[in-house]
Amino acid sequence: MPGLYSKFSEEVSFPRGLIIWNYFDHEHVVGTHFEHYHQIRILAEESNWCLSQRSATLPFMPIKMWATQFCYLKSDKWMRSFHFGPFGLLLEQDFHFEDVGSQGCRVTVESHMNVPRILRWLQPFFHKLMRRWFYSVWAEDTEMRERRLKVWQLGFRDFVGLNYVNNKTAGPARPDVDRPYPIELPVPKITEIARGGVGRPFKNSRKLGYGLSELPE
Amino acid sequence: MAETIFMDEAEALNCFVKIGYISELEPAGQFSRWVSNHDILVFRRNGVIRAFSNVCPHFGGPVGYHQMTEGKFTCLWHNLQFDADTGQCLSVTKFKLREYKLMIKDEIIFARLVEA
């Protein structure tokens, strides 16, 4: 394998449509991943691809770095992503989504970066860097996906919310765990592509998390 | 402003469900919790305890993930901001958080989930 390479794979209990929604909801990187990303600007987007600029702080290197990312859905089970960084560096990634039962998915991420032969000794560092990045972002996405699935199964509609909450009526007796999660791209945006992008609206956060545990019956 | 509810105690207990304790508001001045398929954000503002829906109408993110600052809540997922006095979204004007009516008894906070 030429250049630097790493591969990670995780099995999750989310439907494939939700995982792809998460990857194509580009605006969430400065929200959910606010500790890593500072700004994102979507330059152009169509149903199965997106070109964006992102400012991020990488693990082990406390410096802000801009990169241009192009990602596209080659099939409904395979996403390709290209990150163009400084000094002509190009990080290529393949995301494979494999169904596990009706509500699960295995995500496998392969990352490649071509470098001159003299820099091949960076392979262990590259692997460590990608691993740190993958798992820190993965953990934040997992919480997001869990919540998204929960509200989805309660009947959530994008840009509307939960009808029974809004209308103050009785809610569902139980979540609809079989509600299909279709792949519908592009994910609707709250900002316009032509604008200057979006960033974090605050400097510091006191994180309180996703909430307290449920009360005993 | 928050609404004060006056009703018979037996009637109230039928309408309201327990969502937490006053002590859970410390030290951040707010907490959120799922109760009966409602995610409720409880907070103290200008000495008054109030509760909004914690579900962002955009994609369902947690409005109360960050501590309220300068009278605004900022949803974690996409940074949509909401006015803590009105629940009005300051980023997308068509969004507004539902406010829950509260009842407090013996340091326990109850909310009315169904009104219609």
Would you list the domain boundaries of chain A? 3-147+183-200
Which pLDDT value is given to residue A63? 82
Nearest to B92 among A28, A160, A190 (CB): A190
Residue where the block lists tokens 């569902």: A172
Q: What is the CATH number of domain B9-112?
A: 2.102.10.10
Domain A3-147+183-200 has CATH 3.30.530.20: yes
Query: Is the per-residue pLDDT at B10 higher than 60?
Result: no
Q: pLDDT (tens digit, 9 = 90+) per residue, A150-199?
A: 999 999 999 999 999 999 999 898 999 999 999 999 998 876 544 567 88
Residue of B nearest to A151 (CA): B60
pTM of the model: 0.91
Q: pLDDT (tens digit, 9 = 90+) per residue, B45-97?
A: 999 999 999 999 999 999 999 999 999 999 999 999 999 999 999 999 999 99
Residue of B78, B89, B101, B109 for testing the chain A interface, max A β-carbons within 10 Å: B78
Residue B99 tokens read as 């406010």
Residues in chain A: 217
% of chain A beyond a pLDDT of 90:
76
Cis peptide before A116 (omega within 30 of 0): no
Q: Which of A75-79, A99-103, A192-196 has the highest mean pLDDT?
A: A75-79
Which pLDDT value is given to residue A1? 47
Q: What is d(CA B5, CA B12) in angstroms, rounded to the nearest whole number?
A: 9
Q: In what order do the strands lie in the sheet with B30-35?
A: B30-35, B38-45, B48-53
Residue A214's DSSP bridge partners are none
How many helices (DSSP H) and strands (DSSP E) are in chain A?
3, 8
Please give the mean pLDDT across all residues of chain A: 91
Residue where the block lists tokens 């449509």: A17
Residues 6+ apart with CB under 8 A from A203: none
Q: What is d(CA A81, CA B105) in angstroms, rounded to the nearest whole number?
A: 55
Is B90 an 8 Å CB contact of chain A? no
Residue B78's DSSP bridge partners are none
Q: What is d(CA B82, CA A34) in angstroms, rounded to the nearest whole number?
A: 18
Residue of A nearest to B96 (CA): A166
Which pLDDT value is given to residue B12? 57
Would you list the domain boundaries of chain B? 9-112
CB B20 within 8 A of CB A215: yes
Residue of B30, B53, B77, B89 for testing the chain A interface, max A β-carbons within 10 Å: B77
DSSP per position, A106-132: EEEEEEEE---GGGGGGHHHHHHHHHH
Which pLDDT value is given to residue A195? 58
Cross-chain Cβ contact B58/A151 below 8 Å: no
Q: What is d(CA B24, CA B30) in angstroms, rounded to the nearest whole number?
A: 8
End-to-end CA separation in angstroms for chain B:
20
Residue B46 tokens read as 């200008």
Residues in chain B: 116
